């Protein structure tokens, strides 16, 4: 069985400061990892993914994430936070050994609040 | 940019009634999914659909649930006899056919309220 842990319910960051949203995962094989963002009353929007290769993945809106196999982590980062980044962020995993129709396993989400 | 669309945005139904949630996936996508999100909780996988049949389903997806792709564009989730605990946001998603590393694209969801 696969699982995702997002240890922080909420992260508060001042505008202009760097931000980190933490994620650790557990899969039986090798993972595909994803970050999604959810704004109020909207669906999940894809931010970035790790498939293979470079451990630092760049995505939409200036976000990036670092895959660390030894720590089974995939933390989301941004060098300089914007107030508009305030939203609910979900980390998700699927096992590479699975088929194309496998569902994603999501973490419980982290509320990111950027203070002006 | 093409989007996944879901209707209605909000559905209110009496307990015990049947409800059908509708989705139009992105047109060239081949894999379709339903997820649900109970208020304040994480997004949970329900079912995936490929090549006109269910590919994978979670333990949440019991005999009360069914999915269908009736006309080549719509993808529906039916709950036969709704229960109070079915109240949640239901998200439809789709992805291209190039493999499981492709991101799933989500609709804005249908909020289902069971009275």
Tens digit of each residue's pLDDT (9 = 90 or more) over B92-108 = 999 987 566 788 999 99
Residues A18-40 have a mean pLDDT of 93
Residue A66: strand, helix, or coil: strand
Confidence bin at A52 (pLDDT 50/70/90): confident
Q: Are strands A110-115 and A19-21 parallel, antiparallel or unpaired?
A: unpaired
- Tens of pLDDT, residue by residue over A61-109, are 999 999 999 999 999 999 999 999 999 999 999 876 666 667 899 999 9
d(CA B76, CA B66): 8
Residue A10 exposed, middle or buried by CB count within 10 Å (0-12, 13-18, 19+)? exposed
Share of chain B above pLDDT 70, in %: 97
pLDDT, greater one: B98 or B73? B73
Q: Which of B46, B47, B55 sits opposite A99 (nearest CB)?
A: B55
Q: Residues 22-51, chain A: which have Cβ within 8 Å of B?
A: 32, 34, 36, 41-46, 49, 51
């Amino acid at each position: 069985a696969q699982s995702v842990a997002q240890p922080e319910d909420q992260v508060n960051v001042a505008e202009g400061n760097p931000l980190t949203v933490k994620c650790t995962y557990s899969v039986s094989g090798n993972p595909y990892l994803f970050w999604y963002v959810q704004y109020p009353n909207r669906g999940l929007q894809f931010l970035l993914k790790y498939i293979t290769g470079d451990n630092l993945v760049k995505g939409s809106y200036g976000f990036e994430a670092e895959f660390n196999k030894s720590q089974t982590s995939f933390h989301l980062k941004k060098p300089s936070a914007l107030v508009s980044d305030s939203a609910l962020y979900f980390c998700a995993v699927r096992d590479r050994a699975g088929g194309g129709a496998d569902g994603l396993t999501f973490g419980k989400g982290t509320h990111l609040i950027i203070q002006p | 940019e093409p989007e996944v669309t879901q209707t209605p945005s909000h559905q209110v139904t009496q307990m015990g009634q049947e409800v059908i949630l509708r989705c139009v996936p992105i047109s060239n996508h081949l894999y379709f999914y339903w997820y649900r999100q109970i208020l304040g909780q994480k997004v949970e996988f329900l079912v995936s659909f490929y090549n006109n049949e269910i590919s994978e389903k979670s333990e949440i997806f019991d005999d009360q649930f069914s999915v269908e792709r009736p006309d080549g564009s719509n993808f529906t989730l039916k709950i036969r006899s709704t229960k109070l605990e079915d109240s949640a946001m239901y998200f439809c998603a789709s992805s291209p056919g190039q493999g499981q590393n492709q991101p799933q694209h989500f609709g804005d969801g249908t909020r289902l309220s069971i009275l």
